[in-house]
Structure 1
Amino acid sequence: GKRLRPESLSVTFAGYDIADMARQPLGKLHTLFASYADGTDKELARLSKGHLEKAIVAQRIAEDLCGRLQVLLDLGLGYLTLERSTPTLSPGELQRLRLATQVRSNLFGVVYVLDEPSAGLHPADTEALLRALDRLKASGNSIFVVEHELEVIRHADWIVDVGPGAGEGGGQVLYSGPSEGLKKVAESKTRIFLFDDEPLSVGRRREPAGWLKLKGVSRNNLKNLDAEIPLGVLTSVTGISGSGKSTLISQVLVELVAEGLGHDLPPEEEEGDPLQRENAPRTQGRISGLEPLRRLVRVDQKPIGRTPRSNLATYTGLFDSVRKLFAATKSARARKYDAGYFSFNTGKGRCPNCEGEGFVMVELLFLPSVYSPCPVCSGTRYAAKTLEVRYRDKNIAEVLAMTVDEALAFFEEEATAHRILNVLNEVGLGYLRLGQPATELSGGEAQRIKLATELHRLSRGNTLYVLDEPTTGLHPSDVTRLVRQLERLVDAGNTVVVVEHDMQVVGVSDWVIDIGPGAGDEGGNIVVAGTPETVAASKRSKTAPYIRNTLNGTHSK
């Protein structure tokens, strides 16, 4: 499987052919080349006796390689291998790889724009990211960062705070200047969290109602691992980027629980070579303690729909309630319109020209096709006769154009619709339009819509919820709201397990499992498990100091 001819593989360096070398983690390669770069390697000394110029060339190449590798190590990517295909990298890993190439480019006078570079990063990796950004700045460059991570914001020389709310409630520049000046801006929600030195407010820690026991688990960097996950509590799984958290929870735990409960998991939609996907690692291990569980729900950041026909209202079930309200009006009953007439996915009441799409494709000669609003329905998706039916002076298209916050007041007297809208508002999605297409939603928004859909069906209990970094892309004020909803799930008799880097979530969890101690081959072990206070006291955990700072209300320096 090395893909090269024997002649090419016969050339070795330090005992490795080029294919073997491409399979080594970057951290191991740095160690390998370090002795050549500093001239202490015995092989290099032998080479210099007969061919001094070759030894000098080899040393300079090794120095350059070590320099490039050191930047990647500083950015927390030492666990990656050279042969790792880019489609298998997370967006955060790709962004840091691109950043590493810029750090080594020695350019100056460049404006760099980064959108949430700390997303998916452990606080220790965030510190390494800040050091890389400082190097770029010191070279004479300007850096603009869109960010929610408080440590990155504190590190900035200049802060631009936009708000005060989201969607139509935002769009104003509340402050622009050095960080100290933000203290005086009363409207800023960022200010509250940025300058908060109070210890974290923590309620009573819940006691586990039972345990899921994983035995002999092997996958990726997990080797014959045993783990225990408590039931009936909120558990955070922590560890530096690449330590094996997502492998343990989002892959191993989900697959073993689904198998034990007899659930069929939807196939993972992954990019990359189909042959590589077929040879992807399979989970090995067994699980016990499933008796109290009835359901498994994986709340991930995958889209809630692939087409514009899917939206927030259709996914949550809100649209069914709204269509029934319109069908119950006097005007609809007089025309014998049932709820189907108010759906843009069926032929009864939708616009016949665009078939409920709201736009039409215009084919251009020698140019790509373009989409424009439907000239018949003006983008409303409905036929004119359907829009004549009104509920409280609004037609169905006008209701779909409302934001969640507007609809919450509009449907105040309708119990079912109001309950769904209230949950969407509580998870911080009040700014989204009811008819906003699924294709326009971010991964974080899709995840919170899925969470809200579960929350308004709260009566079930005995369910295991698995969330992988649910706080990605969230402002600290939204994190607070999210935590309240997760606690509601636990209080209703469910188990919630989150893979998380946000110490605000970790600090209020009932149980913490720290994976590590390093990334890649240096990780894959449980370093410490217990309450946040227990983990914070650990000497071996790289997460411990950050949990300690959060619990005590101090900032990492």
Structure 2
Amino acid sequence: MKNQEFIKVRGARQNNLKNINIDIPKNKFVVITGLSGSGKSSLAFDTLYQEGKRRYVESLSAYARQFLGGFEKPDVDSIEGLSPSISIDQKTTSHNPRSTVGTITEIYDYLRVVYANVSVPFHPSKNVALEKQTIEQMIQKINQSFPKGHTIVILAPIIEKQKGTHQKTFLKLSQDGFHRVMVNEKIYLIDEVPDLEQKKSHSIYVVVDRIEVNDVNQNRIFEALEQALNLTNSKVFVKSVDNLQNDSSQKLPFLKLNRNYHLEGVDVDIPTREPRLFSFNTPVGACLSCKGIGFQTEENGFLPLDKTLNELIIQIFQNVDPQDTFIYQKQILINLCNHYKIDMDTPLLDLKGKIIDSIFNGLSSKYTRHKTLDQEVFWHQGHVFEGLLGIFKIYRKNNQMDTNCFDCKGKRLNPGALLFKLNGKNIYELTNLSINDMLIFFENLVLGKEEAKIIRLALKEITHRLTFLKEIGLGYLTLTRNGATLSGGEAQRIRLATQIGSKLSGVLYVLDEPSIGLHQKDNDLLINSLKKMRDLGNSLIVVEHDHDTMLASDYLIDIGPKAGIQGGNLQAAGTPKEVMQNPNSLTGKYLSNKITINTPSVRRKGNGKKIWVKNASKNNLKNINTFFPMEQLVVVTGVSGSGKSTLVNDVLLSGLREKGLLKNKNSYQKNPNIVDDANCVTKIVEISQAAIGRIPRSNPVTYTGIFDEIRDLYTKTEEAKMRGYQKGRFSFNVKGGRCPVCTGDGVKKISMHFLPDVYVVCESCKGTRYHQETLSIKYKNKNIAQVLDLTVDEGVIFFQNHPKIKNQLEILQNVGLGYVKMGQPATTLSGGEAQRVKLASELHKKVIPGALYILDEPTTGLHSDDVRQLIKTLHHMVDQKATIVVIEHNLDVIKNADYIIDLGPEGGNQGGYIIAQGTPETISENKNSYTGKYLKKILAH
């Protein structure tokens, strides 16, 4: 190959990369793989994409660059042959409530063009198409509406609710010979119209004529209507002069006539058919109540007096970040109840005693101690007790519920826009269909020859993009789906669809694990779509662990050998076959089956107890009945959108919580969907991919409790003892030792208003979180900030003489997080990393028999070698009498299950059925199961 056919990287040292030199073929499908933390993203995103982005910014004018800010050059000697680069990662698409699948893919924009050209308005209640109205019919309507001898004004609405000063409009009207206009309900001579505010919406109607309604003036009325219609193309308004003069004694109508639409005997105001009308982001089309958002925010109810204190504590505090100061209210409440011997299992209505007022209303004292008759009781330093009413008020504020808008019922558009239909469906009804059903709709769409010609290009774009979304396993989604509710994998594939739709060529696309969240069946379609992008003349660099994706690639790069400081080397590069033959490549050994993840020879039988799900019909579930056996590893499988998350999270997990499950307590309310056999569940632990904290102060060692032990070590140093430093001195969550400028965050948040917030390193502490006096205390020649900057792997070595700390760090190692820094801010952890931190936090606790652990795709971001370690960990937990329910697509995890529940057969409305359930061997023999088809191949090895 010629030099220009390669991206030539020389001396790449970004993050943990070890001076890598590599020639990456252009216009090929290239996969970069390796252990978690080995340096894959450092090469793909932090080096190649970052340099491509930097070069683009450098090509702009100095004026443009001042708005974008500087982009640091990655630590690399040179990169030649780099194309313009686009990154498609796993981050949530948008937190903007106006962002939907339709707007992200731009399909909705094309739909607006279609509806603006070929839709037909229907009467809102009679469901009858509105017919065209002649000028003669308009005159007849005027004669019926106004008595003879009455004076009317005929108006041409040339501007309706549009922002601007409209000076050019007034000048043009004056030049055309018009003398009067109605501006915002008032009539002016055209030369006397006051200056209009630029940023306010205005309506401007031309006064075409002022006429008395009688038999003699019928021709004059006809001419005035004709002239008005020529100005507006379709609409004319007729108003009584008395109404203009605010004569309240007259009850005469304000006629809004339309040449295009009319229904005999019915007065319907039909808006002008235009693309803006069908947009919920413009004042013309948006619902007036919710402004196009589709929902209204409500606080979540009143203090439930029928609940016990224990039940309330679970409801309020179960999802609170352990680092959040709000958690102190829980501790104070428990301390109060314990001290005054208040039964926390008594309903609030039945609580009695003098202290109850303080329980409900809080303690007015601002001191840290609450005085009793005989002693002082320490509650919590620096925190005033808010009382149950205050606590619940904070809870309601933090847990506001979004309910459908009362007026538009979540449709976002105003009633006028929803009158227009295409083949019997308005634009909301059409976009609320699944993508699969939308494709069927357009396949069966019948249009006239002229209509088809007008919207031919728009229809071509719509069907092309819908087809691609279906091909990448997203056919179950609707275009109305809010962008913020999409998973990382869904969001990435939607952005991929947008890029496919743009049909760019000569671009370098950098993708981050696009197979996440995909069933093997859907993954095959995704691979074909990636090849189509390559065939358009683009270079694809994909960070990926999926075996099929790697085997389908043109070129495979393996980074390793391990993670963190032990990674960053180029282990192998070449075709998949060449990598499989390379003895240095761990990935190659897995691809060639030289190393495999074992299949259990015996499946666990459990303890015979079950959690039954009865008649579940939430979302797309089809009234299913199934059970989850206790003390087994249960895996829920199925294609994307088949109902896995609904069954596990919305039915099983929510159902058990609604029953009021408490630790060491079996108080259940009735729930028709969940039957817990003999109350066998003693504890529920949801290990989700949600962030472990919403603030930079949260990190792996604070979440797992390791940091408490580390701070203890620093308080025991001679220097700390001499200065009288207590444990709190080394915390960045309280005043004392932390940096006073950033209050222990290490960064300062800059609000970008319409863009995501930006964090910049604190100028005072330089990101260390502490002030200099605290940092002067050292343990083994490292201060507290330097210890937090160690990776977990480095921490294991550093604390090898402290078994308690070492053992807890080894648990983080065992779940594949050895490369993560101990003090890495929670806001920078991926969903998979956050989930494994939570898993590690649970693993160092003693497993309680009857504990139920729920995990959602724990293999996200894991190499096969990490998956092997994860499976070993899950088996260890089940052997200790835990029950684990996992939603998963990874076949190595599925083949290790004791029991499988397979949902399908497809996604969306075509899913929600139980296709098969039983052991992996049972599933593999089921001909109706897509999972079974792929499982059979892997079990045969």
Q: TM-score, normalised by structure 2?
A: 0.52
1:506 aligns with 2:905: no
1:207 aligns with 2:605: yes
Name which of 217, 231, 237 aligns with 2:630. 231
1:390 aligns with 2:787: no
- Please tell me the residue identity of whatever aligns with 1:237: V
Alignment of 1:87-486 (within 5 A): 87-196=484-593, 201-203=598-600, 204-209=602-607, 210-263=609-662, 285-289=673-677, 291-352=679-740, 354-358=742-746, 371-375=760-764, 377-486=765-874
Q: Report the more deviating stretch, 474-483 or 1-10.
A: 1-10
* Matched-pair contact (CA < 8 Å) for 2:730–2:784: yes
- Please tell me the residue identity of whatever aligns with 2:614: K
* Matched-pair contact (CA < 8 Å) for 1:199–1:551: no
Change (3 A) 1:413 1:379: same
User: 3-state SS of the aligned residue for 1:321?
Assistant: helix
User: 3-state SS of the aligned residue for 1:134?
Assistant: helix
Task: Name 2:933's counterpart in structure 1.
Answer: 545
* Matched-pair contact (CA < 8 Å) for 1:321–1:417: yes
Distance (Å, rounded) in 1 between the aligned partners of 2:555 and 2:769: 45
Change (3 A) 1:306 1:56: closer
* Matched-pair contact (CA < 8 Å) for 1:250–1:468: no
Q: Report the more deviating stretch, 164-173 or 500-509.
A: 164-173
> Which runs of at least 4 in structure 1 moved beyond 6 Å after TM superposition?
58-61, 360-363
Change (3 A) 1:150 1:348: same
Q: What is the Cα deviation at residue 341 of structure 1?
A: 2.1
Q: Deviations 1:408-446 (Å, cap 9, x if unpaired)? A: 122223232122111111111112222222122111111
* Matched-pair contact (CA < 8 Å) for 2:903–2:911: yes
Q: Report the more deviating stretch, 437-446 or 184-193.
A: 184-193
Distance (Å, rounded) in 1 between the aligned partners of 2:763 and 2:465: 53
Distance (Å, rounded) in 2 between the aligned partners of 1:362 and 1:200: 46
* Matched-pair contact (CA < 8 Å) for 1:22–1:83: yes
Distance (Å, rounded) in 2 between the aligned partners of 1:541 and 1:327: 59
User: 3-state SS of the aligned residue for 1:223?
Assistant: coil
Change (3 A) 1:443 1:60: closer
Distance (Å, rounded) in 1 between the aligned partners of 2:798 and 2:596: 40
* Matched-pair contact (CA < 8 Å) for 2:904–2:914: yes
Change (3 A) 1:372 1:235: closer
Distance (Å, rounded) in 2 between the aligned partners of 1:242 and 1:181: 37
Change (3 A) 1:103 1:340: closer
Number of residues of Structure 1 aligned to a counterpart in Structure 2: 518
Change (3 A) 1:307 1:290: farther
Distance (Å, rounded) in 2 between the aligned partners of 1:407 and 1:441: 18
Change (3 A) 1:287 1:380: same
- Please tell me the residue identity of whatever aligns with 2:734: T
Q: What is the Cα deviation at residue 319 of structure 1?
A: 0.8
Task: Name 2:355's counterpart in structure 1.
Answer: none
User: 3-state SS of the aligned residue for 1:389?
Assistant: coil
Q: What is the Cα deviation at residue 339 of structure 1?
A: 1.7
Q: What is the Cα deviation at residue 248 of structure 1?
A: 0.7
Q: Give 1 or 2: higher helix fraction.
A: 1
* Matched-pair contact (CA < 8 Å) for 2:545–2:863: yes
CA-based RMSD of the aligned residues comes to: 2.7
Q: Report the more deviating stretch, 52-61 or 515-524.
A: 52-61
1:18 aligns with 2:400: no
User: 3-state SS of the aligned residue for 2:623?
Assistant: strand
1:523 aligns with 2:907: no
User: 3-state SS of the aligned residue for 2:679?
Assistant: coil
Change (3 A) 1:181 1:346: same
- Please tell me the residue identity of whatever aligns with 2:465: R
User: 3-state SS of the aligned residue for 2:744?
Assistant: coil
Q: Report the more deviating stretch, 82-91 or 245-254.
A: 82-91
Distance (Å, rounded) in 2 between the aligned partners of 1:339 and 1:136: 56
* Matched-pair contact (CA < 8 Å) for 2:853–2:882: yes
1:27 aligns with 2:397: no
Alignment of 1:73-88 (within 5 A): 73-88=470-485
Distance (Å, rounded) in 1 between the aligned partners of 2:565 and 2:910: 47
Distance (Å, rounded) in 2 between the aligned partners of 1:434 and 1:88: 30
Q: What is the Cα deviation at residue 404 of structure 1?
A: 1.4
Name which of 457, 468, 474 aligns with 1:71. 468
Q: Deviations 1:455-475 (Å, cap 9, x if unpaired)? A: 000343321000011111111
- Please tell me the residue identity of whatever aligns with 2:491: L
Task: Name 2:90's counterpart in structure 1.
Answer: none
Change (3 A) 1:107 1:342: closer
Q: Report the more deviating stretch, 177-186 or 526-535.
A: 177-186
- Please tell me the residue identity of whatever aligns with 1:34: E
Change (3 A) 1:403 1:56: closer
Q: What is the Cα deviation at residue 58 of structure 1?
A: 7.3
Task: Name 2:42's counterpart in structure 1.
Answer: none
Distance (Å, rounded) in 2 between the aligned partners of 1:149 and 1:68: 25
Q: What is the Cα deviation at residue 263 of structure 1?
A: 5.0
Change (3 A) 1:223 1:386: same
Instruction: Mark the structure with the bigger radius of gyration.
Output: 2
* Matched-pair contact (CA < 8 Å) for 1:532–1:547: yes
